[in-house]
Chain A
Amino acid sequence: MSTDDRTSAISGTTEEFVAFVHATAPQLHRSALLLTGDHHLAEDLTQATYARVFASWRRVQRAGNPVAYTRTILTNTFLSQKRLRRSGETTGRIADIGETLTERAAGPGTGAHDDPSVRMTLFDALAQLSPTDRAVLVARYWEDRSTEQTARDLGITETAVRTRAKRALERLRPLVSDLEGIV
């Protein structure tokens, strides 16, 4: 292969990657937003994910399902960052979120769909869960991944996925109920 051919091939590969990012980034960013609960962190996570995908782009393309691969990288990157930072299982701030939400539901502004302060409340509720439980909920109910796929991505058993999803939903139930009345 000549230098020109090689340059052309590299350029073509980069163009394919850019097209892939444009096609998939909005949805991936929303997953990142649900995982992190923070727009800045979601952008960082999304960028770190695509950087890793680009670093192995040819291999990823050969794997045949770059979207699934990228989602998995996103989840792994999120969990590794949480572990690397020695994060606690909860943020601690929102222990009284149920009470806060109930008060807000009863107060003025109920139903203010576009109020950013209200939109933050689901993120706060999700932040009460462990990172792994959050990843399970996002994979199962936002990305519609199967129990089997979720278990494989997270390195846990299918039983553990079901148990974690059930337990996380139970923890969220009072919050979800209140949120439903607000959002």
Chain B
Amino acid sequence: MNDQTQLQELMRRSVGDAGPDLDRLVGGALRDGTRIRRRRRMAGAGAGLAVAAVTAVAVGVLGSGSGPRAVDPASETASDAASTSPTPQRQGYYEGRTYDFGGGITGTVVRCGEGPIDPDLGRPTCALPSEYAIQQRNTLEGSGEGWAVVLTGPADAINDFWGAGFDDPRLQRGGLTIAIRADSPLIAPVNQGQRVSIDVPGWTLSPEIVDDKQELSGPDGAVADIVWRRASDYAGWTAGDDKADGAFVSDVHDGVFVTIQGGQGTTQADLDALGASLRWE
């Protein structure tokens, strides 16, 4: 049996028959999806024809069956018409050009500096000043090489746009780098210096917070996580459904709360004890 077959078999065994609570999933998806629609409508109300042009192009991309990511367009035509720059007749990327992506999101074109060589591609990567945080780089060859588009706008709108794979042809060109401002709340960690401690014999709490998580190590190799979460998510964790089953949920403290979730070797009694001992510092 080769590695791939082994991995496929292990994946099948590991996920087993795991499945979500369909009623809760549907309810949550309808609620959140409706909220996204409403936000788009509100943001789009004042955007005018430029947004209509973007939507038309986006529908065209989807209609082609290529999914939310399009291949590098061979030419720049209708998609460039939605530029908000004062010289819309100028084609292609140039320093300072701006695009309106709808939803209050604006993209500004900046020229890349020459970064380290990408070992997979044999080409230089895009280097940007420290005020920008690179979030995605298209590794196909194309007209986007040497350019970055910096997105600014409402955090939720950028997050949605991101989740949809930047579904806009102007961001799908080969080689293009996409960045946001380094001071964007989108990339700020949940934890803003708050600290907690636990006091259960045999258990230790790692001081580092990685990916919004802190590791708990207990007797006999038991592990658990303290997960830092935004206060805006608190209602979802205390709604009375089974989302928090098996996890300890703290009170909100200074705009955040934590959950304690068990890993291998952790019992419910361990989680209860860890939760009971949790202290904010």
Report how far A172 CA is from B11 CA in the complex, Å.
13
B65 within 8 A of A: yes
Q: Write the nearest CB–CB distance from A96 to chain B, whole angstroms.
A: 10
Report how far A142 CA is from B7 CA in the complex, Å.
9
- By a CB distance below 8 angstroms, the chain A residues around B223 are 93
- By a CB distance below 8 angstroms, the chain B residues around A121 are 264
State which residues 133-170 of A face B: CB under 8 Å: 137-138, 141-142, 152-153, 155-157, 159-160, 163, 169
Judge whether B140 and A141 touch: CB under 8 Å.
no
- By a CB distance below 8 angstroms, the chain B residues around A176 are 3, 6-7, 10
Report how far A91 CA is from B213 CA in the complex, Å.
9
Judge whether B139 and A122 touch: CB under 8 Å.
no
- By a CB distance below 8 angstroms, the chain B residues around A88 are 210-211
Closest 5 pairs (CB-CB, A-B): A54-B33, A51-B32, A50-B29, A55-B36, A117-B264
Q: Write the nearest CB–CB distance from B175 to chain A, whole angstroms.
A: 11
Binding site secondary structure of chain A: helix
- Which residue of A is nearest B14, CB measured? A122
- Which residue of B is nearest A60, CB measured? B62
Report how far A57 CA is from B91 CA in the complex, Å.
33
Q: Write the nearest CB–CB distance from A72 to chain B, whole angstroms.
A: 5
Query: CB < 8 Å: which of B25, B66, B190, B265 contacts A152?
Result: B66
Report how far A68 CA is from B19 CA in the complex, Å.
19
- Which residue of B is nearest A69, CB measured? B67
State which residues 72-124 of A face B: CB under 8 Å: 72-73, 76-77, 80, 82-88, 91-93, 100, 113, 116-117, 119-124
- By a CB distance below 8 angstroms, the chain B residues around A9 are none
Say yes or no: A43-B189 contact (C-beta < 8 A), given A51-B33, A76-B68.
no
State which residues 50-76 of A face B: CB under 8 Å: 50-57, 59-60, 62-65, 68-69, 72-73, 76
State which residues 9-65 of B face A: CB under 8 Å: 9-11, 13-16, 18-22, 25-26, 28-37, 40, 58-59, 62-63, 65
- By a CB distance below 8 angstroms, the chain B residues around A80 are 135, 159, 162-163
- By a CB distance below 8 angstroms, the chain B residues around A22 are 22, 26
Judge whether A29 and B20 touch: CB under 8 Å.
yes
Judge whether A159 and B120 touch: CB under 8 Å.
yes
State how many residues of chain A have any CB contact under 8 Å with chain B: 81
Q: Write the nearest CB–CB distance from B11 to chain A, whole angstroms.
A: 5
Judge whether B11 and A183 touch: CB under 8 Å.
no
- Which residue of B is nearest A46, CB measured? B20
Judge whether A152 and B69 touch: CB under 8 Å.
yes
B164 within 8 A of A: yes
Name 30 interchain pairs, CB-CB below 8 A, sorted by A: A21-B22, A22-B22, A26-B19, A40-B261, A43-B21, A50-B29, A51-B31, A51-B33, A52-B36, A52-B160, A55-B34, A63-B65, A64-B63, A65-B67, A76-B163, A86-B187, A87-B210, A88-B210, A93-B215, A116-B264, A117-B264, A117-B265, A122-B14, A137-B7, A142-B8, A155-B138, A155-B165, A160-B121, A177-B6, A183-B10
Report how far A131 CA is from B19 CA in the complex, Å.
22
Judge whether A169 and B139 touch: CB under 8 Å.
no
Report how far A22 CA is from B22 CA in the complex, Å.
7
Judge whether A160 and B139 touch: CB under 8 Å.
yes
Report how far A160 CA is from B32 CA in the complex, Å.
34
State which residues 201-236 of B face A: CB under 8 Å: 208, 210-213, 215, 221, 223
Judge whether B36 and A179 touch: CB under 8 Å.
no
Say yes or no: A55-B40 contact (C-beta < 8 A), given A14-B30, A72-B165, A152-B69.
yes
Judge whether B18 and A155 touch: CB under 8 Å.
no
Q: Write the nearest CB–CB distance from B71 to chain A, whole angstroms.
A: 7
Q: Write the nearest CB–CB distance from A80 to chain B, whole angstroms.
A: 4
- By a CB distance below 8 angstroms, the chain B residues around A120 are 263-264
**Apart from A30-B19, A54-B30, A176-B6, what 8 extra A-B contacts exist at CB < 8 Å?**
A59-B62, A76-B68, A84-B159, A93-B223, A155-B136, A157-B140, A159-B120, A163-B120
